[in-house]
Structure 1
């Protein structure tokens, strides 16, 4: 074991010495800006061309790489569980041996919850269970009937899969890689660092720049889709409170009314202005306080459903669905279908879409998780950021979504929730369980919660983007946070306009941008496995040397 070399830690990301870009890597920053400037101009000047080409590319990617997405995400989940269980890796601390966490457990959980799945939970807490209740592999193969009592269990099996261990595992893999190298080896907190055990000094050149650029691109597109869904629900909420007709436009082909382009752009400007102001204040103030507010408001909304909703049905569903999910977890991890079949088309449009979304979101959430998790052990990080949030998401989906399903099963809703738009299902459900006067108060609280979730996600994204472009520096220039706030607003607005007010162009761009980073994540997984194994060998060698010295002294 004498031939174990020390780990490569000599990452040197050249940054500008002076001028507007002082402290920033010019190749990463300029390449990222040019990419999104061109995408914005293309979407604004040739919206039809942008929509058609992005749709075609998205279809081809899902057709070719559907199985890759499924297997890769299954690998991430099992890898993390093994790393947490193995004593030698689980007890390693992300920092010095005696280092204490920077944030309290409450604030830590609040920040990762708000940044990770806050907006997704608000939009899909009812929409995801209702959608899977009408269509999932069990229903497609004839095992059960859509919208029946028997279909509830399988509906939640796939709901829990999409928002459980696999989803959080994607985030935590990226976060663990970045935190491990940054805080145990004092390396820059940036994407390329995670590949140094595989590529060493090559990460200091063009390959390293490319990896960081892919991280920035994925982050912006992942955040863009999240904000897109969030502002759509925000507009639905404002309409339900105010009745302003300009906020909605009539649906086509029998679809329910949807937020108008004008409504979406207005909401986008408000959200991004608030997000940029929060990002300027930094993670220790703006993001922390907003995240704590998010958790408090989320708890209040959950209590509304506990008090007025179908709590007994929801709790029984939670228990049975959780057992069903655990029993099917191994199969769900690697269950891939060929596209072109009914099962494959469902998986590509549902599971693979989610995996691409979470992968695109992972540089942002992962780096953010790393920033707030210094001082925690690997096991604490995995359990605290994978298992605990998954259980909370399950409860959220079971209580909100279970109430919606029970209203439909009992005939009270009579299809009103099923027929509502994805971003309006939450408000449609609330209208059935609370009185008109109470609904106004609850709807205002929901709008406030959606808004704070959106601001938390966007400002955290802006902080992370700047960290990557600044070579891992956590304190970045305020001017660049403002510039990227404006650019992110323009990108989202342009893609919404290109989609005619819909979010499909945003989704297509995100899935395309996520694919290259998915390959980076597979390499990160292999890289971290190698690093943990080699560090374990180094520790054994050090212990053996220490024992040898003690024996020599005793003799």
Structure 2
């Protein structure tokens, strides 16, 4: 068992300082409060380097496609002869739950409605607005985020399981920088990764608490989604995910991930067959075609001649690409941990295609139902979202389905299990990162990180500082994007060296 490292203490100190900064009232520091400062920095990065985020994310998609068809596809993420630890169903469940589960539930109905009313560019008809809204929802949650995760996870899994390096971000750069990764530079890289993970996950916990609260107000008459209710939710969920974290990867996270997938499929299937089935499936099919055919154009779209379109891209696409890069250390490390024994081709194909396909179907059912209700049933979902927040979109849609109460309870359960799985996975990943890559981090370390995450979410939710937290995480994405580019060079250097050694071995056998 590894002891805690400098990364643990440095990251913990930074986290505490940020929380303290976040709870200082805005009136005390009008110019220098956390929200103001992080918004200014993020605004600068998105305005000046939006093209960089766009090119980096698209580059990872191209890289993933290349790896699937390349000669490196047969390399095993482990020793030759290693077999996968988990079945496909369990593996996909873990990928999906850690990757973006709670975000899909939060935005499944809300994002298409926002794009429907405020499209990325001028549209001539309402029907065209609907098509564009769904196309961009697919785009934001499709190949690009999963290519980001696959790139990082592949590098980690390769060096950890095939080269016996510690499961750290810094280990993946050793082919480029050698022993420097064991010193201060390696520590800095790992601290950036931990920083992005803590604040990214804490933001999701805050959003999850808001949405569970919103769901409960729809189910229980007279209940209000107050900050007090959200605090109670965070405390209860913290207890549950700490219990899950302490049971280990093969019990807590494994069973919860499978439960998530079952609940998600139940919700989607029920909504599909009790809602406007024909409309949803036609919408899904045509949008999938539009998404794939327009993918190159959307991937490089920057709108330099139209300020309104450029502003939309900053608020949505560039924001998302930065957000996925910020989440990459957490999700990538977790995906790597559960992918031992798979080949590069099998790994990249699975990570890229399966969650993307399920995500597009998810948006078609939830978002398609929302758009259908607005266009054909006169339901004002946008008005409800403006009044109470984007978290209300899903439950507003469910109110117009049969068995509303059952569906709402199912949705609350789904949000809760995704909430628990994300937090549980994050405590495990943070434990690994701060104990020199220990595959089974000490319970005390996991508990410490669990409390930091929940405490961060609770304090900043109470102070209205979740946006500042999200922005801080995205700022960390900028240096991390550069680290990820270096990782790509590093892994190709390692792949080429392995191919060279294999060729030498084969020639020796032939000559023997």
Please state how far the C-alpha of 1:224 moved relative to its aligned partner: 1.6
Please state how far the C-alpha of 1:311 moved relative to its aligned partner: 1.4
Specify the alignment match of 2:102 in structure 1: 119
For normalisation by structure 1, the TM-score amounts to 0.88
1:474 and 2:454 equivalent?
Answer: no
1:27 and 2:6 equivalent?
Answer: yes
Structure 1 unmatched runs, 5+: 1-21, 248-259, 550-555
CA contact (8 A) 2:142 2:356 kept: yes
Q: Which residue of 524, 530, 551 corresponds with 2:493?
A: 530
CA contact (8 A) 1:144 1:150 kept: yes
Check 1:542–1:73 CA distance in 2 against 1; reply closer, same or farther (3 A cut): same
The CA distance in 2 between the partners of 1:343 and 1:291, in whole Å, is 38
1:330 and 2:296 equivalent?
Answer: yes
The CA distance in 2 between the partners of 1:413 and 1:266, in whole Å, is 35
Aligned residue pairs total 504
Q: Which residue of 362, 369, 374 corresponds with 2:328?
A: 362
1:413 and 2:378 equivalent?
Answer: yes
Aligned alpha-carbon RMSD (Å): 1.7
Please state how far the C-alpha of 1:417 moved relative to its aligned partner: 4.8
- 3-state DSSP of counterpart to 1:150: helix
Cα offsets for 1:73-127 (capped at 9, x unmatched): 01111101101111x2111111122111111111111111111111011011111
The CA distance in 2 between the partners of 1:42 and 1:340, in whole Å, is 37
Cα offsets for 1:415-451 (capped at 9, x unmatched): 23564231111110111122xxx21121111111110
1:483 and 2:438 equivalent?
Answer: no
Q: How does 1:116-515 map to 2 (within 5 A)?
A: 116-137=99-120, 140=121, 142-145=122-125, 148-247=126-225, 260-338=226-304, 341-410=307-376, 412-417=377-382, 419-420=384-385, 421-434=389-402, 438-499=403-464, 503-515=466-478
**Which of structures 1 and 2 has the bigger CA Rg?**
1
Specify the alignment match of 2:54 in structure 1: 70
The CA distance in 2 between the partners of 1:297 and 1:264, in whole Å, is 23
The CA distance in 1 between the partners of 2:234 and 2:486, in whole Å, is 35
The CA distance in 1 between the partners of 2:36 and 2:404, in whole Å, is 41
The CA distance in 2 between the partners of 1:144 and 1:285, in whole Å, is 53
The CA distance in 1 between the partners of 2:339 and 2:305, in whole Å, is 39
Cα offsets for 1:36-55 (capped at 9, x unmatched): 01011111234552222222
The CA distance in 1 between the partners of 2:255 and 2:480, in whole Å, is 31
Check 1:25–1:205 CA distance in 2 against 1; reply closer, same or farther (3 A cut): farther
Please state how far the C-alpha of 1:175 moved relative to its aligned partner: 0.6
CA contact (8 A) 1:123 1:423 kept: yes
Please state how far the C-alpha of 1:338 moved relative to its aligned partner: 4.7
